[in-house]
Structure 1
Amino acid sequence: MRIAVVDGQGGGIGKHIVEKLRKLLPEGTEILALGTNALATAQMLKAGANEGASGENAIIFNASRVDLIVGPVGIIVPHAMAGELTPRIAEAIAQSPAPKLLLPLLRGKCELVGIRPEPLPHLIDELVNRVKEIIAASGEKTSP
């Protein structure tokens, strides 16, 4: 299983996702850090991602080459993350055949209705648990 964690700006959300995934998933699970910038990628690599790549072309190139994509919902919204999320990145992620697990975090003029407001650590726990379910359904073993 190859999982892409996509983040931008300072990479804080991606860093926390990678840390939790690394602790709870099987050793053979490959985590690819895809940052809109080098700082975001570096944070995710420090947290335990196997590989990393930065920038528009890297994200576009890899979006269709992974089994699962995780990150904040802004990764499919053009001009999100203070403009770091280009329309081409949003399109590549949205069109990727990989399933996407997205945290409902948006700043600005977009609101996701029907989603309960939870602290970020709780949302990341939900995301990681869902990743474990997907991996289990694929036949790979997960840690307790």
Structure 2
Amino acid sequence: MKIAVIDGQGGGIGRVIVEKLRKDLPEDIEIMALGTNALAAAQMIKAGANEGASGESAVIFNTPKVDLIVGTINIIMPNSMLGEFTATMAEAVLRSSAQKIILPLTRSRVKIVGTREEPLPHLVEAAANEIKKILEVGTGV
């Protein structure tokens, strides 16, 4: 299985996600860091991603090639992350046949009703648990 973790700006959220996935998932799971910029990609690579790339072209090129995409709600919102995440990038994520695990964190003026505000570690834990369930179903465990 190949998982893309997408983040922008300083890559802090992506770094936390990659660290958790690397710790909790089997070693044969490939994690790809897709950053809106080189700093974000580098932070995720330092956290344990197998490979990484940055920029609009990297997101557009790689999202169709992965099995799972993980990131905040910003990765499906055009012009989020202070404009770093373009409409074309958001469309590429949404068009990908990969399953998406979305964390309801945003600094934009979007409020997701029906969700509780949780700290990042709790959301990442929930995302990791969902990915483990997906892996169990996919492997017949």
Superposition TM-score tier, normalisation by shorter sequence: over 0.9
Q: Aligned equivalents of 1:73 and 1:140: distance in 2?
A: 30
Give the ranges of 4+ consecutive aligned residues of structure 1 lying more than 4 Å apart after TM superposition.
none
Report the Cα distance in structure 2 between the residues aligned to 1:20 and 1:140, rounded to whole angstroms: 23
Deviations 1:54-90 (A, max 9, x none): 0000000001100000010100100000000000000
C-alpha distance in structure 2 between counterparts of 1:5 and 1:71, whole Å: 6
> C-alpha separation between the residues in 2 aligned to 1:45 and 1:27?
15
* Offset of residue 140 of structure 1: 7.3
Per the alignment, in what secondary structure is the counterpart of residue 64 of structure 1?
A: helix
Aligned-residue offset at 1:109: 1.4
Q: Distance in 1 between matches of 2:111 and 2:140?
A: 36
Shift of 1:136: 1.1
Extract unaligned runs of 5+ from structure 1: none
CA distance in 2, matches of 1:36, 1:140: 35
Corresponding position of 1:37:
37
- Is 1:96 aligned to residue 112 of structure 2? no
TM-score with structure 1 length normalisation? Answer: 0.96
Q: Deviation of residue 108 (structure 1)?
A: 2.4
Going from structure 1 to structure 2, the CA distance change for 1:136 and 1:106 (only over 3 Å counts) comes to: same
Match of 1:80 in 2: 80
Look up the equivalent residue of 1:17 and give its one-letter code.
I
Looking at structure 2, the residues matched to 23 and 66 of structure 1 have their Cα atoms a distance apart, in angstroms, of 20
Q: Which amino acid aligns with 2:25?
A: L
**1:4-47: CA deviations, max 9, x gaps?**
00000000000000000001101100000000000000000000
- Give the aligned CA root-mean-square deviation in angstroms: 1.0
- State the distance in 1 between where 2:78 and 2:9 align: 15
Corresponding residue for residue 138 of structure 1? 138
Change (3 A) 1:140 1:31: farther
TM-score by length of 2: 0.98
What one-letter code is carried by the residue in structure 1 that aligns with 2:27?
E
Task: Tell me what 2:60 maps to.
Answer: 60
Q: One-letter code of the match for 2:81? A: M
1:74-127 Cα offsets, whole Å, 9 max, x none, are 001000000000000000001110010010011121110110111111000000
* Paired residue secondary structure (1:105): coil
Instruction: State yes or no: 1:20 paired with 2:20.
Output: yes
Q: Take 1:132 and 1:106, find their aligned partners in 2: how far apart are those partners?
A: 24
